[in-house]
Amino acid sequence: MDFNLTEEQSMLITTIREMGEKENFRELAMEVDATGEFPFQLLPMYSEMGLLGLTLSEEYGGGGQSALTAVLAIEELAKYSPMIAGPVFESNVGPIRVVDMFGTPEQKELLVRGVCAGDNSVSVCMTEPEAGSDLTSLSTTLTADGGDYVLNGRKIFITGGGHASHYLVYARYGDIMGYKGIGAVLVEKDTPGFTFGEQEQFMGLRGMPSCDLIFEDVRVPKENVVLKAGEFKNLMLTFDIERCGNAAMCLGVAAGACEEARTYATQREAFGRPICEFQDIQFRVVDMATRLEAARLLVYRAATGAGRGLPSMYEASMAKLFANEMVIDVTNSAALVFGGYGYSKQMPVERMVRDGRAWCVAGGTVQMLRVTVASVLFGRRFDQRKGK
Ligand SMILES: Cc1cc2nc3c(=O)[nH]c(=O)nc-3n(C[C@H](O)[C@H](O)[C@H](O)COP(=O)(O)OP(=O)(O)OC[C@H]3O[C@@H](n4cnc5c(N)ncnc54)[C@H](O)[C@@H]3O)c2cc1C
């Protein structure tokens, strides 16, 4: 597989690096973590640079570029912080891709254009208090009513909750059981009956808006239907692209931690020598870099295979699985290079350890990814429900 970057992709990386230096993203990342304030001020600049909606349809204002280009941009920005990469993640691999692929022309005109301009954002709303990994047990319902629908239920851990302009809500049509009853509708913020819970307090990703969503008799016009009952498979297909984006966040956080550790090892002295002269430190940094490069190959393979479409479920799941575990190991190892400072908020690596832990749960746990990969390796589906 050819991983040579195009001239355009190399230029994009250079431009992002220059922006990171100029705008002092290293400092901004520390600030966002300390204040818990998401850097919304970046949106107009990202939009102007074409970073929002790189992969979305050109017909509606998107960049029409490949999944790999988006992965490269997310990785580069996540070296500073996942918060700084957040808008590029959401606008390229998030639920807007579902709208771009399966939405009506009217939905695309409003949302794809709005997302590229930085005016709109879309959150994906799947998880419920009693349905996370077991998504097909979800109980949020859409009841037909006079040609429209009425939505009732509760969602939890929704990234962008309270801030996004639109919410792609996975819900069950009527009383159709199992995955066959699940589809998705768009709900606008400020729709009567739609309210938000308290901001979630996570271990890391400080600044990321996240909260519960509560739907009480929310009227959803039929024009807001994105996927009807029975189209759950399409939702899951588009989820593979989000897995690549999630894995790209891991590459970025791990690369940031590797660089912090390598630099510190050349500056810090012990026993009268820079600590990089101790073999344990060298080998630690070598192992970190090796695991990062291995993850990169898996993620780039999945993204390259996707082209301008969707990646294979097998490649995307394996890439996310490996990258999710890699970033935890690499950030932990980087913190050890810093000694006591690795446990102090004075150094970015402490934040990287916390931020690195989110990805093995967000977008599906590593255990569930193993279940998915097992189904491909064994050529059969393993029903996770208690024996019938
Ligand atoms: C930072 C972050 C951001 C998130 N953003 C969103 C978002 O924007 N939208 C959204 O809808 N959700 C979001 N989530 C929720 C996330 O998708 C769920 O937390 C995740 O899918 C796991 O569901 P759960 O928490 O209910 O865990 P559970 O499903 O209760 O799982 C608990 C444990 O049991 C394991 N387990 C369950 N079933 C099996 C099995 N069959 N085999 C082996 N192990 C199993 C799980 O792997 C896990 O370790 C986010 C979560 C986090 C942490």
pLDDT per position as a tens digit, 166-199: 999 999 999 888 889 999 999 999 999 999 999 9
Rounded to whole angstroms, how far apart are CA atoms 314 and 242? 14
Phi-psi region of 308 (alpha: psi -120 to 50; beta: other; left: phi over 0): alpha
Residues 295, 224: one domain?
no
- Indicate which residue's Cα is closest to atom 4 of ligand 1: 362
Residues 92-116: what's their mean pLDDT?
Answer: 96
Strand, coil or helix: what is 18?
Answer: helix
Give the pLDDT score at 1: 75
Rounded to whole angstroms, how far apart are CA atoms 317 and 228? 25
| 1 in any annotated domain | no
| 349 in any annotated domain | yes
Residues 242, 372: one domain?
yes
Residue 293, pLDDT above cutoff 70: yes
- Which of 117, 142, 158 is the C-terminal boundary of a domain? 117
Residues 71, 146: one domain?
no
| 148 in any annotated domain | yes
Mutate to test the pocket of ligand 1, among 123, 140, 157 (most ligand atoms within 8 A of CB): 157
Q: Is 205 in the pocket of ligand 1 (CB under 6 A)?
A: yes
Residues 242, 356: one domain?
yes
Residue ranges making up the domain that contains 301: 233-378
Q: Strand 166-173 vs strand 122-125: parallel, antiparallel, or unpaired?
A: parallel
Give the pLDDT score at 127: 98
- Which of 117, 144, 179 is the C-terminal boundary of a domain? 117
Mutate to test the pocket of ligand 1, among 166, 235, 365 (most ligand atoms within 8 A of CB): 365
Q: Is 159 in the pocket of ligand 1 (CB under 6 A)?
A: yes
pLDDT per position as a tens digit, 349-373: 999 999 999 999 999 999 999 999 9
- Indicate which residue's Cα is closest to atom 35 of ligand 1: 367
Give the pLDDT score at 201: 96
Rounded to whole angstroms, how far apart are CA atoms 196 and 161? 7
- Closest residue by Cα to residue 312 from 226, 381, 375: 375
Q: How far is the CA of 202 from the centre of ligand 1 (A)?
A: 14
Read off the CATH number of the domain in which 90 is found: 1.10.540.10
Read off the CATH number of the domain in which 285 is found: 1.20.140.10
Query: What is the chain's mean pLDDT, rounded?
Result: 96
Q: Is 158 in the pocket of ligand 1 (CB under 6 A)?
A: yes
Rounded to whole angstroms, how far apart are CA atoms 194 and 113? 24
Q: Is 171 in the pocket of ligand 1 (CB under 6 A)?
A: no
- Indicate which residue's Cα is closest to atom 30 of ligand 1: 132
Q: How far is the CA of 133 from the centre of ligand 1 (A)?
A: 5
- Which of 117, 141, 164 is the C-terminal boundary of a domain? 117
Residues 207, 268: one domain?
no
- Indicate which residue's Cα is closest to atom 48 of ligand 1: 365
| 383 in any annotated domain | no
Residues 88, 193: one domain?
no
Q: How far is the CA of 366 from the centre of ligand 1 (A)?
A: 9
Q: Is 125 in the pocket of ligand 1 (CB under 6 A)?
A: yes
What residues have CB less than 8 Å from 384, skipping those under 6 apart?
Answer: 134, 371
Residues 370, 244: one domain?
yes
What type of residue sits at position 64? G
Residue 239, pLDDT above cutoff 90: no
Q: Is 126 in the pocket of ligand 1 (CB under 6 A)?
A: yes
| 299 in any annotated domain | yes
What residues have CB less than 8 Å from 104, skipping those under 6 apart?
Answer: 223
| 388 in any annotated domain | no
Residues 112, 146: one domain?
no
Mutate to test the pocket of ligand 1, among 239, 361, 371 (most ligand atoms within 8 A of CB): 361
| 387 in any annotated domain | no
Residues 237, 348: one domain?
yes
pLDDT per position as a tens digit, 36-75: 999 999 999 999 999 999 999 999 999 999 999 999 999 9
Residues 152-164: what's their mean pLDDT?
Answer: 98
Q: How far is the CA of 158 from the centre of ligand 1 (A)?
A: 12
The pLDDT confidence band at residue 235, using thresholds 50, 70 and 90, is confident
The pLDDT confidence band at residue 388, using thresholds 50, 70 and 90, is low
Q: Is 362 in the pocket of ligand 1 (CB under 6 A)?
A: yes
Q: Is 127 in the pocket of ligand 1 (CB under 6 A)?
A: yes
Residues 246, 316: one domain?
yes
Q: Is 358 in the pocket of ligand 1 (CB under 6 A)?
A: yes
Q: How far is the CA of 196 from the centre of ligand 1 (A)?
A: 20
Residues 86, 127: one domain?
no
| 385 in any annotated domain | no
Residues 144, 45: one domain?
no
Q: How far is the CA of 280 from the centre of ligand 1 (A)?
A: 36
Q: Strand 210-220 vs strand 269-270: parallel, antiparallel, or unpaired?
A: unpaired
Give the count of domains, the chain: 3
Rounded to whole angstroms, how far apart are CA atoms 282 and 258? 12
Q: How far is CA 208 from the centre of its chain?
A: 12
